[in-house]
């Protein structure tokens, strides 16, 4: 439908923007990554009062430059891709849009940092430049191990939340408001802080009984951290073994079925067997 030449520059641009195999495509990705990192750094620096008050104009101009660059990239991506809507509503498409919009909105409503955090997600593109296959292979196997243990980890996390609610309520009753456990949600929060062995210490039990229960909570938390770790490492071990077994199976990929020879009644013939391996009689092929 497009003229050949028009199609030509679009295909070329598509290659540069979406792929990382040509030198130009690689350069594009590296430049993009640096710009993303710079944009994240800018948002961070802007949030530091002392720096912002000193270099406000520089930061603001740089931010605008990056926003324009991102906008151009976003439009280029839409133009060069075959199915623009599929890109626009894809994970990266939405992230790409949301990382440019806040600056434009700030023109009318003042600075909103809320969506700036999403720029960090653009960093995920980094894996395309690194030796992709190898890194993704590694994380794919990891992901499949995590997916296999999803049900178990859900049960585990759900149990942790129930424990936190029960023990949090008990701690609220034992310690009370005067020791910082001012209400149940806060006590539950404290309980999660303790169970996960984070232990901020902004709230800490003061009564002997409270400290005794806290000790139990801590030892419990120390013990149950073994559970998700055990699950993931066991699943991952069996994942590795499966891969190894599949390699082995290539050498011997035969499956034996439960057919019985009509002549001598021996079992376990190969799926593709036409004759009994024992007496040489023709097998009934179903």
> Which residues in the 80-139 window bind a second copy by CB under 8 A?
113-114, 116-118, 120-121, 123-124, 126-127, 134-135, 138-139
191/163 Cα distance (integer angstroms): 9
**237: contact with a second copy by CB under 8 A:** yes
Cβ distance to a second copy smaller for residue 24 or 120:
120
Residue 159: strand, helix, or coil: helix
**59: contact with a second copy by CB under 8 A:** no
Q: Kindly report each contact of residues 59-64 with a partner whose C-beta sits within 8 Å and lies 24 or more positions away, as own/partner.
A: 62/38, 63/39, 63/103, 64/103
Stretch that binds a second copy, among 1-9, 69-77, 86-94, 229-237 (CB under 8 A): 229-237
**Contact predicate 269/276, CB 8 Å:** yes
In the complex, what is the shortest distance from the CB of residue 120 to a second copy, in angstroms, rounded to a whole number?
A: 4
Cβ distance to a second copy smaller for residue 1 or 271:
271
Partners of 270 in beta bridges: 256
Packed helices 208-224 and 184-195: angle between N→C axes, nearest 10 degrees: 50
Cβ distance to a second copy smaller for residue 66 or 81:
66
263/281 Cα distance (integer angstroms): 6
Stretch that binds a second copy, among 4-12, 21-29, 86-94, 172-180 (CB under 8 A): 172-180
Contact set for a second copy, span 14-53 (CB under 8 A): 40, 43-44, 47-49
In the complex, what is the shortest distance from the CB of residue 63 to a second copy, in angstroms, rounded to a whole number?
A: 14
List 62, 71, 182, 207, residue binding a second copy (CB under 8 A): 182
Residue 190: strand, helix, or coil: helix
101/149 Cα distance (integer angstroms): 38
Stretch that binds a second copy, among 22-30, 61-69, 77-85, 232-240 (CB under 8 A): 232-240
In the complex, what is the shortest distance from the CB of residue 72 to a second copy, in angstroms, rounded to a whole number?
A: 24
Choose among 173, 182, 178: nearest CA to 210: 173
């Amino acid at each position: 439908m497009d003229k050949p030449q028009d199609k030509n520059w679009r295909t070329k641009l598509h290659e540069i923007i979406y792929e990382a195999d040509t030198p130009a495509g690689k350069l594009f990705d590296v430049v993009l990554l640096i710009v993303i990192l710079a944009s994240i750094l800018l948002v961070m620096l802007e949030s530091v009062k002392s720096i912002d008050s000193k270099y406000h104009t520089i930061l603001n101009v740089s931010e605008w430059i990056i926003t324009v660059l991102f906008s151009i990239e976003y439009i280029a991506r839409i133009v060069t891709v075959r199915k623009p809507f599929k890109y626009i509503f894809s994970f990266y498409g939405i992230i790409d849009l949301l990382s440019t919009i806040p600056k434009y909105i700030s023109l009318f409503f003042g600075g909103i940092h809320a969506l700036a955090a999403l720029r960090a997600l653009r960093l995920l593109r980094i894996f395309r430049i690194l030796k992709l296959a190898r890194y993704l292979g590694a994380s794919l196997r990891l992901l499949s191990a995590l997916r296999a243990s999803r049900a178990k980890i859900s049960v585990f996390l759900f149990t942790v939340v129930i424990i936190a609610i029960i023990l949090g309520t008990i701690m609220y009753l034992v310690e009370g408001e005067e020791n910082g456990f001012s209400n149940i949600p806060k006590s539950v929060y404290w309980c999660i802080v303790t169970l996960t062995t984070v232990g901020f210490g902004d709230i800490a039990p003061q009564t002997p009984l409270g400290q005794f229960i806290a000790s139990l909570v801590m030892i419990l938390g120390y013990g149950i951290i073994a559970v998700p770790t055990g699950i993931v490492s066991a699943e991952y071990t069996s994942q590795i073994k499966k891969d190894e077994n599949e390699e082995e199976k290539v050498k011997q990929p035969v499956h034996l079925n439960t057919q019985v020879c009509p002549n001598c009644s021996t079992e376990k013939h190969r799926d593709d067997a036409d004759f009994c391996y024992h007496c040489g009689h023709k097998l009934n092929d179903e």
